[in-house]
């Protein structure tokens, strides 16, 4: 007598997945991360023709740049963790809702993207809650060198300078080669330490960029 047993429970029939359709290439990117305007994918021809008639794109480039400047000036991007950030209007200190974020400017169309993708990083202030947050954010941007090279202003707290100002300033200079201004938030509890950092940081020839102190605001938790 055979000792083999059989499972009499009904087995679900095997689901046959349909073959994956080839993805339509939406845009062509250059090595530095910007979008190429030389090649227009067939599925974007209609949208490209429509966007060419946008009132904004009919203005002279000089006027468009002024408009972009009005939108991006006094904007602070607070990065609390790798995928958590918020946008602050520096003039009023108020939070800007994500749907009204100036960072959405490059997503209007390909031409506006090419005109503003670097400008967003050049005009906005990028504020980091901690050193690990900055490093993680930087690692995510390595393939987009035009963004990192465009950054001019960074804001941090005094706690970035545990290893000495010259060491940390060298790190900022290496990560962001075109950095012009480093803002350090003042801490009332550690006034003496903050003043010491300020005294050493004022020697611009050692760092290659300007330095300023600002009152510390309640930032995002890492």
* CB-side neighbour CA atoms (13 Å) of 141: 19
Helix (H) or strand (E) holding 183: strand 181-186
Residue 222 confidence (pLDDT): 33
- Give the three-state DSSP class for 23: coil
**Lookup result for tokens 């007598």:** 1
Q: How does pLDDT run across 9-52, given as a tens digit for each residue?
A: 566 566 666 666 555 556 566 665 666 656 666 666 666 666 77
Residue 53 confidence class, pLDDT cut points 50, 70, 90:
confident
Q: What span, in angstroms and rounded, lies between the C-alpha atoms of 217 and 177?
A: 27
Q: How does pLDDT run across 185-200, given as a tens digit for each residue?
A: 755 544 555 555 555 5
Residue 66 confidence class, pLDDT cut points 50, 70, 90:
very high
Residue 43 confidence (pLDDT): 65
Q: What is the mean pLDDT of the chain?
A: 70
- Give the three-state DSSP class for 140: helix
- Write out the two tokens for 128: 């980091």
Q: Are 146 and 174 in contact (CB under 8 A)?
A: no
Residue 190 confidence (pLDDT): 47
Q: What span, in angstroms and rounded, lies between the C-alpha atoms of 170 and 47?
A: 45
Query: Which residues, at least 6 apart from 216, have a Cβ–Cβ distance to it below 8 Å?
Result: 157, 185, 186, 187, 188
Domain coordinates of the chain in residue numbers?
42-215
Query: Which residues, at least 6 apart from 139, have a Cβ–Cβ distance to it below 8 Å?
Result: none
Residue 114 confidence (pLDDT): 82
Secondary structure (H, E, C), 32-72 = CCCECCCCCCHHHHHHHHHHCCCHHHHCCHHHHHHHHHHHH
**Lookup result for tokens 């100002």:** 165
Query: Which residues, at least 6 apart from 152, have a Cβ–Cβ distance to it below 8 Å?
Result: 122, 123, 178, 179, 180, 181
């Amino acid at each position: 007598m055979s000792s083999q047993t059989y499972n009499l429970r009904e087995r679900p029939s095997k689901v046959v997945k349909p073959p994956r359709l080839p993805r339509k290439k939406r845009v062509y990117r250059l090595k530095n991360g910007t979008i190429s305007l030389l090649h227009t994918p067939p599925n974007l021809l209609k949208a490209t023709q429509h966007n060419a008639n946008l009132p904004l794109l009919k203005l002279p480039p000089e006027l468009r740049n002024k408009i972009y400047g009005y939108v991006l000036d006094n904007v602070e991007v607070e990065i609390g963790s790798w995928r958590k950030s918020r946008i602050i209007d520096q003039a009023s200190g108020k939070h800007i809702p994500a749907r009204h974020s100036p960072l959405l400017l490059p997503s209007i169309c390909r031409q506006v993207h090419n005109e503003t993708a670097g400008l967003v990083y050049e005009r906005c202030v990028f504020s980091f809650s901690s050193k690990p947050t900055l490093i993680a954010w930087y690692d995510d941007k390595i393939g987009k060198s035009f963004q990192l090279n465009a950054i001019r202003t960074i804001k941090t707290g005094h706690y970035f300078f545990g290893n000495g100002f010259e060491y940390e300033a060298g790190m900022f200079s290496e990560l962001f080669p075109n950095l012009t201004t480093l803002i350090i938030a003042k801490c009332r509890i550690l006034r003496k330490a903050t003043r010491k950092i300020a005294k050493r940081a004022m020697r611009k020839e050692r760092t290659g960029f300007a330095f300023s102190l600002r009152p510390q605001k309640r930032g995002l938790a890492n």
